[in-house]
Amino acid sequence: MPIVHEDAGFVDRPSTSNQPTLEVTNLSFAYPDGHQALFDVSLAIGAGEKVALVGPNGAGKSTLMLHLNGLLSGDGTLAVAGLPIAKENLPLIRSKVGMVFQNPDDQLFSPTVFDDVAFGPLHMGYPEDEVRQRVGKALSQVGMADFEQRLSHHLSIGQKKRVAIATVLSMDPEILVLDEPSAGLDPRARRSLINLLRELPLTMLISTHDMLLVQELFPRMIVMDEGCVVADGETAVLLQDTQFLEAHGLEMPVPTVGHTR
Ligand SMILES: Nc1ncnc2c1ncn2[C@@H]1O[C@H](COP(=O)(O)OP(=O)(O)OP(=O)(O)O)[C@@H](O)[C@H]1O
Ligand SMILES: [Mg+2]
């Protein structure tokens, strides 16, 4: 059975948030093959909050995220920016939630990088000039400004990941839901992603195994294990509880001192 962490408590949300921007209540979900991936998950994220979602492989992080723009639908209630996730609200919800999938190949489907990043703004009916400007800005935000005419499916994994992030930035979303955005990035790209996420004044839920990223960027973290939320609290508090981290397959990397032969 998953362990519920009792000490961390629930974090006070910033005073800017009267109403949660992301609200999940008693969500349970089983895949069509019968595998139950989420058990009674509840969480609420206020406007402008930056929250990390962590937990071991198979914990249910991606499954939860796919519910946040209606790609999966389980039992329970979900609301985004005050809108219940229901079929009639999905177009509006998808324009507000920028979702980056764990696998960039699920996100990139156009011939060129430009087309992929332009897809959202074009779909929203922006004029050509604005689409070009949005694509240029989003690609430079992820350090891929020179890649507009490259073929998306020929990029390296880290480059694909960066373009996948640009495909949502070009939509100017209110909420970012990023599934392991730093996986596969080189140190420089990872650093500029951290700086970008720090500067963007958006509500964020970001799943990651990169605990240093969590420590650096997210005051609050939600821990999932075996389909349940096992803790939701202050990162600084939770990261000090080595027993708790160990129980859920998490650990802070130990800094190495030099290299010995
Ligand atoms: N399409 C599917 N059909 C059946 N089971 C699935 C499917 N996708 C995921 N699962 C199962 O659901 C559980 C949760 O998977 P999920 O991908 O949400 O985990 P995760 O926390 O994102 O893991 P990771 O850290 O590896 O990305 C796992 O046991 C997984 O095997
Ligand atoms: Mg995942």
* DSSP letters spanning 134-152: HHHHHHHHTT-GGGTTSBG
173 lines ligand 1 (CB under 6 A): no
What is the mean predicted confidence (pLDDT) over 86-95?
91
Pairwise CA distance, residues 125 & 128, whole Å: 9
CA distances from 153 to 112, 149, 157, 178, 184 (A): 8, 12, 9, 20, 16
* pLDDT tens figures, 62-84: 999 999 999 999 999 999 999 99
Strands 20-30 vs 36-46: parallel, antiparallel or unpaired: antiparallel
**102 inside domain:** yes
Ligand in closest contact with the CA of 224: 1
Residue 223 CA: which ligand is closest?
1
Is 240 part of a structural domain of the chain?
A: yes
Residue 74 sits in a domain whose CATH number is 3.40.50.300
When the pLDDT of each residue in the chain is averaged and rounded to a whole number, the result is 90
- The reply to whether 1 falls in a domain is no
Could you tell me if the CB of 33 is within 6 A of ligand 1? Answer: yes
60 close to ligand 1 (CB < 6 Angstrom) = yes
Is 12 part of any domain?
Answer: no
Which range, of 9-13, 18-22, 42-46, 209-213, averages the lowest pLDDT?
9-13
pTM above 0.85, yes or no: yes
Query: Does residue 256 sit within a domain?
Result: no
Q: Distance between CA 104 and CA 107 in Å, rounded?
A: 5
> What does the pLDDT average to over 7-26?
63
CA distance 187 to 228: 32
Q: Which two tokens stand for residue 109?
A: 């489907």
Cα separation of 119 and 103, whole Å?
18
Q: Residue 243: what pLDDT? A: 94
- To the nearest 5 percent, what fractions of the chain are helix, strand and coil? 35, 25, 40
Question: Is pLDDT above 60 for 55?
Answer: yes
Segments forming the whole domain that contains residue 140: 20-247
What spacing in Å lies between the alpha carbon of 250 and ligand 2's midpoint?
15
Res 180 pLDDT > 70 = yes
Hey, which of 57, 103, 221 would you mutate to test ligand 1's pocket, going by the most ligand atoms within 8 Å of its Cβ? 57
Q: Hey, which bits of the chain come out as E strands?
A: 20-30, 36-46, 50-54, 75-80, 83-84, 97-100, 175-179, 203-207, 220-225, 228-234
Q: What is the pLDDT of residue 255?
A: 65
Residue 226 placed within a domain? yes
pLDDT digit string (tens) for 197-256? 999 999 999 999 999 999 999 999 999 999 999 999 999 999 999 999 999 999 887 766
User: Is the residue at 219 inside a domain?
Assistant: yes
- For residue 96, the CA-to-ligand 1 centroid distance in Å is 25
Q: 15 in a domain, yes or no?
A: no
pLDDT band at 139 (very low <50, low <70, confident <90, very high): very high
- The pLDDT-based confidence of 20 (bands split at 50, 70, 90) is confident
Q: Which residue has the tokens 């001192």?
A: 257
Answer whether 10 contacts ligand 1 (Cβ < 6 A): no
Q: Provide, rounded to the nearest whole percent, the portion of the chain with pLDDT above 70.
A: 90
Ligand 1 neighbour 63 (Cβ under 6 A): yes
- Number of domain units in the chain: 1
Q: State whether the beta carbon of 250 lies less than 6 angstroms from ligand 1.
A: no
Identify the band that residue 260 occupies on the pLDDT scale cut at 50, 70 and 90: low
Q: Please tell me if the CB atom of residue 12 comes closer than 6 angstroms to any atom of ligand 1.
A: no
Least confident of 29-38, 83-92, 140-149, 247-256: 247-256
Query: Quick one: which of 241, 259, 258 has its CA closest to 250?
Result: 241
